[in-house]
């Protein structure tokens, strides 16, 4: 009876205190607000007592004051249940309230605006405890102590075991997870069964359905004269070549295709795949100038690898020279089967240069690659790539492709914008460009000179970077823009500075393997430095080779050439070397290529390169020579020659492993005699003579003076 009476008393206290707190107003009088600031009206529903009571609790405890009636209510319920009030629980609840008040003040030092009233976050008590602890252990230490005390007081106040609580929570979460997993498994099974039924019914319907045939990309070519562009008005009377120098595509050239033949091939393809246990259907047919792509959608459960392994069998069934399978087509739930057309269309360079994709491009160095499998022109920017590596077997179209690239740049840019250095160890493919105004140096045919040219290019890159740093810019485009502004409005510093803009420099190497055979280490070092650093300086490399082996396309070179093109190769190994994947061995030759774009894009783009004849190249180069003679940079030529002489001297010094011993012998004996070296070192006459000549160049011995012996100067100063 006594417990119930106490319970009723605590219940009334809880309700009264809660009503007082919930209707608290700072305009009511209180201990901390002795006089109302606005009126004598009491707004608290519990009257003057409630106003004073709420003022005391809120000012001392802050927001935590609202927990006091809750705890009183809990005590009241326990008394009604016949339980007593444990002093440990009371102490724990008080400690819990103190910790919460302190934590609130620690993170919310200002008062909180709640229902039109500013209520202290932690009250006077929370402020006092937080500031005391903060002064000794800082914010993190204060939080750690208060959080630990709160956890302990909460567990003691409500008789909760943390271990049992975590066990209950984990058991509850596991039961929920198990129920969800069972539901998802059943749902997946139902969907799979519905999908199988739908697939079977769909396969019955598609037997009568025809595949969609896409119209190939067609761009109407104008028969009118060459359109005039603003960039054709070049200084010094130089005009870009016109399209009339190139062969016009024949009138009968079109993109007509036989729908019945395409649908028949699709049915044959489906039947042949069905014979090998591969069910599915051809959903779409994409005719192109050289190949036709059949988009085959396999039935559920068919592995892609099974279709890829049937390329040779499909080529036999379709009577095709080779079939390439793209599995899967990026962005589609289908496999691309590329089958060569029975009648191949020729792609001419003129139609690409006359296309809107070329005329309207805003690229710094536009490269005309050709047409994709849909017949759309493909133009890329070399300045963004920033280098290009080309490989392929002999006679697959690499040299014609290089001619197309060079002419694509010539028809768009002037010699003031781009200059070429052409390295042609084969001596016949690119020799037609000799003495055109775009060349910075005569066409290089000797591999040793080519090595010197690459060394000069590295130094030129460093010189360009020095000029860029002088103007405080980071790219050749920014440099040229700043130079143009200074030429218009020169200042004192600009008069002392070279105000000539820097043209782009494109280095074209027709056969990399010939250079690697002569001096692989030095060539690889030069190419690597250029590939890694020359982009901002406006120097770009285009390299081609017919031997895509690992000793030519080394790992370092390959890593620095993200943009790569492969023509037809003889084996899958060569295809992996250049493209990191197979596929190039299935190409058709005659300009058929796979393009590996830069930027980490794994999808290969199949391109059909344009054709330009030797006669067309001759007409273009003669047009250029008639307008302007080649102005080779004499400083460049002299520097390359000096580079070659230094290289020969260094080679002469380091060639013989007995050279050091010969030097010591000459210095010790004071004699620089060829016969003496022959006897002492047991070497032949020619070898001994070469070592004496090397010592003369190094300044160890004097020159030959007829019958008199050479003078020995002493030890070398430097090597």
Identify whether residues 534 and 626 lie together within a single domain.
yes
Name the strands in the sheet holding 504-509, side by side, starting at the edge strand that comes first in the sequence.
Answer: 377-381, 366-372, 605-608, 592-596, 564-566, 388-391, 539-545, 504-509, 418-423
CATH number of the domain residue 708 falls in: 1.10.10.10
CA distances from 341 to 266, 291, 609 (A): 13, 5, 16
Considering the domain boundaries, does residue 197 fall inside one? Answer: no
- Identify the band that residue 209 occupies on the pLDDT scale cut at 50, 70 and 90: low
Per DSSP, what are the bridge partners of residue 712?
Answer: 701
Considering the domain boundaries, does residue 193 fall inside one? Answer: no
What pLDDT is recorded for position 404?
95
pLDDT at 116 over 60: no
- Identify the band that residue 530 occupies on the pLDDT scale cut at 50, 70 and 90: very high
181-197 tens-digit pLDDT: 888 888 888 888 887 77
Identify whether residues 401 and 337 lie together within a single domain.
no
- 419: Cα separation from own chain's centroid: 28
Asked whether the beta carbons of 64 and 100 are under 8 A apart, the reply is yes
Considering the domain boundaries, does residue 484 fall inside one? Answer: yes
Measured distance CA(324)–CA(559) in Å, rounded: 26
Considering the domain boundaries, does residue 513 fall inside one? Answer: yes
Phi, psi (degrees; rounded to nearest 5) at 281: -150, 155
Measured distance CA(382)–CA(504) in Å, rounded: 11
Measured distance CA(182)–CA(179) in Å, rounded: 5
> Which range among 214-223, 386-395, 669-678 has the greatest average pLDDT?
386-395
The percent helix, strand, coil of the chain (3-state, each to 5) is 50, 10, 35
Place of tokens 């095709």: 320
Measured distance CA(398)–CA(401) in Å, rounded: 5
Q: Based on the number of CB atoms within 10 Å of its own CB, is 369 exposed (0-12), middle (13-18) or buried (19 or more)? A: buried
For residues 703-708, average pLDDT: 76
**End-to-end Cα separation, the chain, in angstroms:** 112
CATH number of the domain residue 340 falls in: 3.30.980.40
CA Rg value for the chain: 43
Measured distance CA(423)–CA(433) in Å, rounded: 11
* Lowest-confidence region among 61-70, 415-424, 534-543, 595-604: 595-604
What pLDDT is recorded for position 540?
96
142-201 tens-digit pLDDT: 888 888 888 888 777 777 776 777 777 788 888 888 889 888 888 888 888 887 776 666
Measured distance CA(386)–CA(539) in Å, rounded: 9
Considering the domain boundaries, does residue 628 fall inside one? Answer: yes
Identify whether residues 336 and 465 lie together within a single domain.
no
pLDDT at 23 over 80: no
Q: Residue 596: which region, alpha, beta or left (left: phi > 0; alpha: psi -120 to 50)?
A: beta
Asked whether the beta carbons of 56 and 30 are under 8 A apart, the reply is yes
- Say whether the peptide bond before residue 386 is cis (omega within 30 degrees of 0): yes
**Among residues 344, 372, 400, which one ends one of the domains?**
344
Measured distance CA(714)–CA(700) in Å, rounded: 6
Measured distance CA(421)–CA(507) in Å, rounded: 5
Identify whether residues 369 and 340 lie together within a single domain.
no
Dump the DSSP string for 465-513.
HHHHHHHT-SSHHHHHHHHHHHHHS--HHHHTS--PPPPEEEEEES-HH
Identify whether residues 664 and 617 lie together within a single domain.
no
Asked whether the beta carbons of 570 and 585 are under 8 A apart, the reply is yes
**Among residues 606, 635, 664, which one ends one of the domains?**
635
**Among residues 160, 176, 194, which one ends one of the domains?**
160
CA distances from 415 to 126, 245, 434, 513, 632 (A): 80, 19, 14, 29, 12
Identify whether residues 605 and 665 lie together within a single domain.
no
pLDDT at 228 over 50: no
Phi, psi (degrees; rounded to nearest 5) at 555: -60, -35
The tokens for 71 are 């705890």
Q: Is the dihedral of CA 395, 400, 401, 406 positive or negative?
A: positive
pLDDT at 519 over 60: yes
Reported as type and span, the H/E element at residue 9 is helix 2-22
Identify whether residues 718 and 624 lie together within a single domain.
no
- Residue 673 lies in domain: 655-719
Q: Based on the number of CB atoms within 10 Å of its own CB, is 217 exposed (0-12), middle (13-18) or buried (19 or more)? A: middle
The tokens for 633 are 């940079």
Q: Is the dihedral of CA 107, 113, 114, 119 positive or negative?
A: positive
Measured distance CA(453)–CA(448) in Å, rounded: 9
**Dmax over Cα atoms in the chain, in whole Å?**
141
Measured distance CA(682)–CA(675) in Å, rounded: 10
3-state secondary structure 331-389: CCCCEEEEEECCCCCCCEHHHHHCCHHHHCCCCCCEEEEEEECCCCEEEEEHHHCCCEE
């Amino acid at each position: 009876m006594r417990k119930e009476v106490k319970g009723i008393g605590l219940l009334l206290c809880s309700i009264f205190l809660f009503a007082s707190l919930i209707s608290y107003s700072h305009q009511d009088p209180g201990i901390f607000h002795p006089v109302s600031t606005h009126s004598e009206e009491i707004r608290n529903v519990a009257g003057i007592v409630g106003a004073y009571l709420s003022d005391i609790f809120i000012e001392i405890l802050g927001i935590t004051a609202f927990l006091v009636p809750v705890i009183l209510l809990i005590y009241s319920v326990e008394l009604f249940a016949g339980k007593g009030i444990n002093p440990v629980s009371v102490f724990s609840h008080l400690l819990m309230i103190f910790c919460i008040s302190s934590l609130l003040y620690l993170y919310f030092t200002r008062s909180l605006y709640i229902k039109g009233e500013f209520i202290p976050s932690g009250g006077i008590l929370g402020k006092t405890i937080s500031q005391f602890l903060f002064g000794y252990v800082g914010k993190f230490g204060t939080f750690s102590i208060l959080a630990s005390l709160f956890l302990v007081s909460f567990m003691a106040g409500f008789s909760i075991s943390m271990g049992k609580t975590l066990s209950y929570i984990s058991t509850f979460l596991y039961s929920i997870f198990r129920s969800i997993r069972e539901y998802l498994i059943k749902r997946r099974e139902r969907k799979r069964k519905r999908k199988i039924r739908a697939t079977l019914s769909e396969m019955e319907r598609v037997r009568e359905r025809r595949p969609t045939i896409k119209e190939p990309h067609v761009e109407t070519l104008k028969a009118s004269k060459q359109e005039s562009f603003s960039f054709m008005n070049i200084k010094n009377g130089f005009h870009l070549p016109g399209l009339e120098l190139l062969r016009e595509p024949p009138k009968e050239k079109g993109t007509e295709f036989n729908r019945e033949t395409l649908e028949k091939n699709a049915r044959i393809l489906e039947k042949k795949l069905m014979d090998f246990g591969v069910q599915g259907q051809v959903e779409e047919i994409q005719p192109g100038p050289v190949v036709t792509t059949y988009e085959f959608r396999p039935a559920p459960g068919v592995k892609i690898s099974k279709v890829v392994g049937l390329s040779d069998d499909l080529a036999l069934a379709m009577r095709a020279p080779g079939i390439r399978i793209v599995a899967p087509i990026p962005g589609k739930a289908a496999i691309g089967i590329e089958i060569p057309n029975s009648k191949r269309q020729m792609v001419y360079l003129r139609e690409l240069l006359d296309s809107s994709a070329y005329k309207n491009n805003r690229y710094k160095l536009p490269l005309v690659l050709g047409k994709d499998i849909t017949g759309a022109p493909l133009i890329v920017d070399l300045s963004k790539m920033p280098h290009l590596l080309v490989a392929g077997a002999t006679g697959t179209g690499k040299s014609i492709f290089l001619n197309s690239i060079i002419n694509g740049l010539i028809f768009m840019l002037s010699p003031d914008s781009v200059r070429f250095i052409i390295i042609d160890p084969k001596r016949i493919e690119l020799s037609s460009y000799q003495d055109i105004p775009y060349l910075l140096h005569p066409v290089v045919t000797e591999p040793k000179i080519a090595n010197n040219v690459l060394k000069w290019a590295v130094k030129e890159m460093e010189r360009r970077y020095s000029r860029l740093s002088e103007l405080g810019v980071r790219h050749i485009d920014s440099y040229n823009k700043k130079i143009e502004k200074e030429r218009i409005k020169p200042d004192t510093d600009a008069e002392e500075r070279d105000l000539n803009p820097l043209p782009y420099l494109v280095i074209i190497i027709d056969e990399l393997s010939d250079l690697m055979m002569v001096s692989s280490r030095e060539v690889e070092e030069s190419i690597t430095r250029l590939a890694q650093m020359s982009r901002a300086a406006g120097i770009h490399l285009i390299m081609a080779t017919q031997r895509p082996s690992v000793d030519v396309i080394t790992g370092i070179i390959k890593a620095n050439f993200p943009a790569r093109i492969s023509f037809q190769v003889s084996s899958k190994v060569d295809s992996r070397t250049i493209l990191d994947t197979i596929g190039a061995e299935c190409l058709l030759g005659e300009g058929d290529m796979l393009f590996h774009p830069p930027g980490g894009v794994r999808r290969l783009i199949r391109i059909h390169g344009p054709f330009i004849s030797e006669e067309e190249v001759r007409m273009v180069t003669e047009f250029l020579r008639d307008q302007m003679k080649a102005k080779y940079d004499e400083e460049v030529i002299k520097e390359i020659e000096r580079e070659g002489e230094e290289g020969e001297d260094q080679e002469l010094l380091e060639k013989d492993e007995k050279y050091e011993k010969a030097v010591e012998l000459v210095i010790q004996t004071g004699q620089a005699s060829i016969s003496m070296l022959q006897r002492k070192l047991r070497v032949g006459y020619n070898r001994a003579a070469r070592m004496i000549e090397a010592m003369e160049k190094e300044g160890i011995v004097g020159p030959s003076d007829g019958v008199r012996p050479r003078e020995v100067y002493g030890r070398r100063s430097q090597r």
